[in-house]
Amino acid sequence: MNTKMVIPCAASFEEAAQLINMGEVVGFPTETVYGLGADATNEEAVKKIFRAKGRPGDNPLIVHIASLSDIHNVIYGEMPEWAQKLAEAYWPGPLTMIFDKGENIPSAVTAGLDSVAVRIPGNTDAQALIRAARKPIAAPSANLSGRPSPTTAKHVFEDMNGRIPLIIDGGESDVGLESTVLDVRTLPVKVLRPGGVTPKMIADVVGEVEVAGSVMRPLKEGETVLSPGMKYKHYAPEGSLVIVKGAAEKVAHAIIDMYDATEGEKCILALEGNLSLYEGRNVFSLGKNPEEMAHRLFDALREMDARGINAIFSEAVDAEGIGLAVMNRLGRAAAFHIVDAGE
């Protein structure tokens, strides 16, 4: 199969929508990361997503809709009143909410769970595609399973060339990390995966929010998985990755010690303001602040693979605001190998 790249325009949305209605899978931009979309009501089409990604069948997908009036085709019963408030505040946007699953959604989408994950993306190309298809679109991130999520159409092409017929190239993803996954079925609502909508933003609307313990550590043996995606190796570059946290000078010292003691192709990931601390070494900027870090992280990890780097040392950021999502992804990419250099 040849994989075609198209720019977003009425004709390409129509072409992509036709493919979706024929049961095919297409790559498309969203504000979080690129998605691999298929008709969420077509079980065979949904199975193609799992095959294209090499994704384990027990890791459910997110259903994307264009407007709140479409949610009744996807969920069972009414939205709880607190979920309506969250939808008013943050949809369209990088927030995925978990509801009881509606009957139209085949169990392949939810990996057999009786709950369904739903999001209204804010990206106008994603919106246009969903409207053109006139279907809810099931979509996980458009990477091969285990690889860092794609934040450009080029990343999608790297992983999906020959596996899907079409990719819509909408430029760089704004946020750069996947959506916040929030279980809203009961109170307090619970963050299963941190993302662009932070726990504080959620608490501002509903008062109280829990964050699943597994967000910042590996799962314990026998622990029930709330968000099945959390149990898999994820976001990982090919090289080894170590994260160092603490005061900037101490972090730099610890990273330099490890870097200098390591053989082979190696690289340091650091915040822009700290680059001068690593003079004379191979260092790659993660940007000026946690927002820029979120935007660049997956591209940086892919760049490490492209450069054949086998040892990566990264600075940490405070796990506050969007920093929680950054540290969750970085932590999982490093299998939570985090060194504390001290304050």
Residues near ligand AMP (CB under 6 A): 59-62, 98, 110, 113, 115-117, 140-141, 178, 181, 192-193, 227-229
Smallest distance, ligand AMP to C-beta of residue 56, A: 11
Smallest distance, Mg ion to C-beta of residue 73, A: 24
Stretch that binds Mg ion, among 37-45, 46-54, 139-147, 319-327 (CB under 5 A): 139-147
Q: Indicate whether 96 belongs to the interface with Mg ion (CB under 5 A).
A: no
Stretch that binds Mg ion, among 79-87, 141-149, 294-302, 305-313 (CB under 5 A): 141-149
Q: Indicate whether 141 belongs to the interface with Mg ion (CB under 5 A).
A: yes
Nearer to ligand AMP, 183 or 315 (CB): 183
The CA distance from 315 to 244, in Å, is 5
Nearer to ligand AMP, 69 or 224 (CB): 224
Nearer to Mg ion, 122 or 195 (CB): 195
Angstrom CA distances, 200 to 105, 111, 206, 318, 328, stand at: 31, 30, 10, 15, 16
Nearer to ligand AMP, 193 or 302 (CB): 193
- Tell me which of ligand AMP, Mg ion, none is bound by residue 80, counting a contact when its beta carbon lies within the kind-specific cut-off of 5 to 8 angstroms: none
- With contact defined as beta carbons under 8 Å apart, do 95 and 76 qualify? no
Looking up tokens 């298809």 gives: 133
State the amino acid at position 151 in one-letter form.
T
The footprint of Mg ion on this chain (CB under 5 A) covers a number of residues equal to: 1
Nearer to ligand AMP, 62 or 311 (CB): 62
Strands (E) in the chain, as ranges, are: 4-6, 26-28, 35-39, 62-64, 95-100, 115-119, 137-139, 166-168, 180-183, 189-193, 209-211, 240-245, 266-270, 283-285, 311-315, 338-340
Q: What SS3 state is found at 98?
A: strand
Stretch that binds Mg ion, among 22-30, 135-143, 162-170, 250-258 (CB under 5 A): 135-143
339 forms beta bridges with 244
The CA distance from 24 to 148, in Å, is 23
Name the site residues for Mg ion (rule: CB under 5 A).
Answer: 141
